[in-house]
Amino acid sequence: MVTVAHPASLAVRTPRVPAVRHLGPNWYASVMGTAIVANAGATLPVQVTGVRTACTIVWALSFVLLLVLLGARAAHWAHHRDQARAHLLDPAVAPFYGCLSMALLAVGAGTLLVGRDWIGLGAAVAVDTVLFVVGTLVGLVAAVAIPYLMVVRHRVGPGQASPVWLLPLVAPMVSAAVGPLLVPHLPAGQARRTLLLACDGLFGLSLLATLVMLPMIFSRLVTAGPLPLALTPTLFLVLGPLGQSTTAANKFADVAGGVLPEAYAHGFTVFAVLYGVPVMGFALLWLALAVAMVVRARRGGMGFAMTWWAFTFPVGTCVTGAEGLGKHTGLVAFDALAIVLYVALVAAWAVAAVHTARGLRGGRLLAPPPARVTASVPGTA
């Protein structure tokens, strides 16, 4: 009887889905990076035949990726809770929980921007509403819970500050940027005003939190030197709050007319330009610095890791920011900037996607990472 029961008890304890044990929350970055290709492409100042259809296909891919990852991450929590808790207690991995919120929000925005071509406007509004509400709630929880864990549970030194820390803080800014898309679909009056000003509040929440964090990140670079090779791409994450806040400011201006009193609506238009132009200038400065650091790291032997997805979504937010500035300033220079950045975005997405597919096919990306990088680079290949 003992010999018969023993194998059964072992079977019960054996994880049924070992393939997802090392599937961390950072994988949602692939959904974000895919969705932003569709979202940014849908509003380019110059429309080329076939681009919208291509963007719709990419949106559909991002939707499928989101569903697959939600299922895989649910299996991860169900069957590998020890690893899931370890991720939450790891200061290098826990901030990636902000990616869940941004993945939901980005796919939702894409549904309304291009997905409606396939599923209809009514269904697109319904899907985006659900994803916006859930994504915003998840983002707010992450914006509070992750910093709380960093204070009371994580133990980090001054030299460990990382751009990854921005992820849970920038999630509410993504809500602020995509929320205005739903404003015209709400009843006129209180509902529209409430959503628009709620997005403005999310804008301030994320912006001020980012301004607290950025000096720590730059100070770490100056005092402790370059980031480890595999983490160097995360420097692009700084572009996220910069480009996304510029996008949000311009989206507020797009929908404020007729929703708020004329003086306030005009104020949003003025703010979009007076805020967006200098912030975009700083974003370009940081982009140049990040590119230089990545070139240096690549020459030093930097190989592919899931951190390469940092080349996608943050750059995409700068595309949408430049698009908005081009619309509100009338300057061709911003239109040209949006197109150039979009070409770079598509190239970066293609490279990251190909390497990710190869890593999955070879089993490297879901294999246990080496002990020395387990806490810093989930998904190293």
Cα distance between residue 12 and residue 7, in whole Å = 9
The SS3 call for residue 80 is coil
CA neighbor of 297 nearest in space, from 352, 232, 235: 232
State residue 115's pLDDT score: 97
Distances (CA, A) of 202 to 172, 270, 272: 5, 19, 16
Contact 380, 371 (CB under 8 A): no
CA neighbor of 337 nearest in space, from 294, 295, 277: 277
State residue 35's pLDDT score: 98
pTM of the model: 0.91
Query: What phi-psi label fits residue 368: left (phi over 0), alpha (psi between -120 and 50 degrees) or beta?
Result: beta
What percent of the chain has pLDDT above 90? Answer: 81
Output DSSP code: residue 161: -
- b/e map of 107-145 (b: 16 or more CB within 10 Å)? bbbbbbbbbbeeeeeeebbebbbebbeebbebbbbbbee
- b/e map of 236-274 (b: 16 or more CB within 10 Å)? bbbbbbbbbbbbbbbbbbbbbeebbeeeebeebbebbbe
Q: Is 29 exposed, middle or buried (0-12, 13-18, 19+ CB in 10 A)?
A: buried
Q: What is the pLDDT of residues 245-297, one digit of tens each?
A: 999 999 999 999 999 999 999 999 999 999 999 999 999 999 999 999 999 99
State residue 371's pLDDT score: 55
Identity of residue 195: L
Q: What is the pLDDT of residues 118-164, one digit of tens each?
A: 999 999 999 999 999 999 999 999 999 999 999 998 888 767 889 99
Query: What phi-psi label fits residue 56: left (phi over 0), alpha (psi between -120 and 50 degrees) or beta?
Result: alpha
CA neighbor of 321 nearest in space, from 338, 305, 336: 338
Question: What's phi and psi for 257, nearest 5 deg?
Answer: -60, 125
For the chain, how big is the Rg over CA atoms in Å?
21
Give residue 4's pLDDT band: very low, low, confident or very high (50, 70, 90). Answer: very low
CA neighbor of 107 nearest in space, from 71, 74, 134, 80: 134
Candidates 3.40.50.2300, 1.20.120.160, 2.60.40.10, 1.50.10.150; CATH matching 19-362:
1.50.10.150
CA neighbor of 40 nearest in space, from 339, 316, 284, 333: 316
| Residues contacting residue 43 through CB under 8 Å, at least 6 positions apart | 113, 320, 323
Cα distance between residue 21 and residue 72, in whole Å = 10
Give residue 41's pLDDT band: very low, low, confident or very high (50, 70, 90). Answer: very high
User: Hey, how many other C-beta atoms are within 10 angstroms of the C-beta on 198?
Assistant: 14
The SS3 call for residue 21 is coil
Give residue 376's pLDDT band: very low, low, confident or very high (50, 70, 90). Answer: very low
Please state the domain extents for the chain: 19-362
